[in-house]
Amino acid sequence: MYADDTHLTYAGDNAEIIQLRLNQGLENVHNWLRVNKLTLNMTKTEFMLIRCRQRLSSLTESPTFAIINDFQVSQVTTAKSLGVTVDDRLDWSGHIEKVTKKVASGIAVIKRIRHFVPQATLHLIYQALIQPHFDYCNIVWGNCGITLRNTVQTLQNRAARVLTYSNYDVDAGHLFKLLGWKNLACQQQIQRATMVCRSLHGSAPNYLSSKFERREIAYNLRDSENKLNVPIPHTNYYKDSFSFCGAILWNSLPCNLREAESLGQLKRLLKEEL
């Protein structure tokens, strides 16, 4: 539950069992609201079936949900959850599209006013209007395909050229050094490594902390301390998961980063290393 938004989720291999469990949950929510003199807004109540493309195409019929107050719960292919647009294939195309529009709008604002304000102010405007869209939940949607990642990176390149009054063919990497920026892939690595650190030190939710196990060291080998067990991925979806990518990234860090005594120290070392 998040304020007045409530999500019911259930995972399984059988669509009939999923339908049964979620109908029971929906009925329980409806009864609780009724007892507490509250109303379920059925016009905003919807369900989404998340599967890989092959399994979605093989599904003969979609689950149906109980009719409450003469309303039938409708199926959707995308839904907004805490500012992130989730789609039924988890390819994040819908979210990237919305991020692209918001960032492009912010860049247009900077381009219109850049001749009237100091560059330091333009940097502040960039940090306020654009950078948050790149940072927000990028651990979640950052595993999107290469085409979508390039789309977002192109926007950061454009912003750098606008702030530095550069032509469209100027190398973005050089401009990032001038501005003191890191590209989006580097920013995502920093945030992912930071979240792994929080998970290992018990400052992340339990469902994240449980994803990682420290590797037992049989022999005192060089650069083997404080590494994690890497789960075996059986699907491409799992290769993109936080538990797999996070463990791979953490093990690739230098030993002094893995042994950082605090989250603040890790962040500082990460920015220097990456």
Domain-embedded: residue 86: no
Tell me the pTM: 0.82
Contact 95, 86 (CB under 8 A): yes
Q: Which domain holds residue 57?
A: 15-76
Q: What is the pLDDT of residue 160?
A: 96
Q: pLDDT-based confidence at 62, cuts 50/70/90?
A: low
Q: What is the pLDDT of residue 2?
A: 59
Domain-embedded: residue 87: no
Domain-embedded: residue 44: yes
Q: Please tell me the distance from the alpha carbon of residue 95 to that of residue 128, in angstroms, as a whole number.
A: 20
Domain-embedded: residue 177: no
Q: Please tell me the distance from the alpha carbon of residue 78 to that of residue 131, in angstroms, as a whole number.
A: 24
Q: Which of 170, 198, 227 is the last residue of a domain?
A: 170
Instruction: Say what the alpha-carbon torsion angle 138, 143, 145, 150 is, to the nearest 10 degrees.
Output: 40
Query: 191 and 258: one domain?
Result: yes
Q: pLDDT-based confidence at 220, cuts 50/70/90?
A: low
Q: Please tell me the distance from the alpha carbon of residue 73 to that of residue 64, in angstroms, as a whole number.
A: 8
Q: What is the pLDDT of residue 129?
A: 92
Q: What is the pLDDT of residue 95?
A: 94
Cite the beta strand spans of the chain per DSSP E. 46-47, 74-75, 78-81, 84-87
Domain-embedded: residue 179: no
Q: When comparing pLDDT for 72 and 159, which is higher?
A: 159
Q: Please tell me the distance from the alpha carbon of residue 11 to that of residue 20, in angstroms, as a whole number.
A: 12
| Tokens matching residue 10 | 């259930």
Beta strand 74-75 with 46-47 is parallel
Query: 101 and 58: one domain?
Result: no
The fraction of the chain above a pLDDT of 70, given in percent, is 90
Query: 198 and 165: one domain?
Result: no
Mean pLDDT of the chain: 86
Give the chain's domain count: 3
Max avg pLDDT among 152-161, 187-196, 225-234:
152-161
Q: Which of 113, 141, 170 is the last residue of a domain?
A: 170
Domain-embedded: residue 103: yes
